[in-house]
Chain A
Amino acid sequence: DAKTTQPNSMESNEEEPVHLPCNHSTISGTDYIHWYRQLPSQGPEYVIHGLTSNVNNRMASLAIAEDRKSSTLILHRATLRDAAVYYCILYWEGNNNDMRFGAGTRLTVKP
């Protein structure tokens, strides 16, 4: 079972970039790297996912190491609304469709 390791918590200042790390040393070739976030009292929200190449969308960027054993979610300018728990997940559709969420990283954004 491929697992991920994330720091329990991180702090950032508003309007500064945030780099959220994730280690996944046992990743397999078919695993996609997914990131979700969960704001207080809300359901998880999809952020971004990728396989090998770096990915960008309107919410964030995903930087994937060349050996795929780690990745970094980049929020380019943190806002107070970005305060949430961020989950890094490895997902392969053949894995009984079980996307397993760990404890994630709780991001605090200071004004």
Chain B
Amino acid sequence: DAGITQSPRHKVTETGTPVTLRCHQTENHRYMYWYRQDPGHGLRLIHYSYGVKDTDKGEVSDGYSVSRSKTEDFLLTLESATSSQTSVYFCAIRGFTGELFFGEGSRLTVL
């Protein structure tokens, strides 16, 4: 158990509304990641963080922003959700020898 929790686990929202997903870790790891997983595309990196207030873009960052004000929390925000952002979102942390540990996922549906 890598001590990662994601919230909410399920959310249904409407187009144009803001959405924030939270990733919380209990193990003080420096690196945290947000991925999305869609049929036919596999897992794709959205944003990652390498420390408090240090973040960078991944492969599919358009339409998403992130924040990390504390080591333990990494927030993913959709400022104005669109139907194309319907997906399963996974948070991950990087362990001390480079391996990734993933959360259980947050399933987002944008109507």
Contacts and interface: CB of A to CB of B under 8 A. Distances in A.
Interface stretch (A12-20, A21-29, A37-45, A73-81): A37-45
A2 interface: no
For chain A, what secondary structure do more than half of its interface residues adopt (helix, strand, loop), or is it mixed?
loop
Q: Is the interface of B mostly helix, strand, loop or mixed?
A: strand
A110 B100 CA distance: 29
B111 interface: no
Contact of A46 (B31, B43, B58, B99): B99
Nearest to B107: A41
A81 B43 CA distance: 22
B42 A101 contact: yes
Given A97-B50, A98-B59, A44 B45 contact: no
A93 B30 CA distance: 13
A99 interface: yes
In this complex, the interface size class of chain B, counting residues with CB under 8 Å from chain A, is 20 to 34
Interface residues of A, number: 20
Contacts of B59: 98, 100
A10 interface: no
B74 interface: no
A46 B100 contact: yes
Contact of A49 (B33, B35, B99, B103): B99
Interface string A73-111: 000000000000000000101001111111110000000
Interface of B: 31, 33, 35, 42-45, 48, 50, 56, 58-59, 90, 92, 94-95, 97-105
Q: Report, nearest first, the 7 A-B pairs whose CB atoms are least far apart.
A: A43-B102, A101-B43, A46-B99, A101-B42, A44-B102, A43-B90, A97-B48
Interface of A: 32, 34, 36, 42-46, 49, 91, 93, 96-104
17 contacts: A32-B98, A34-B99, A42-B104, A43-B90, A43-B102, A44-B43, A44-B100, A46-B100, A97-B31, A97-B33, A97-B45, A98-B58, A99-B45, A99-B100, A101-B35, A102-B42, A103-B42
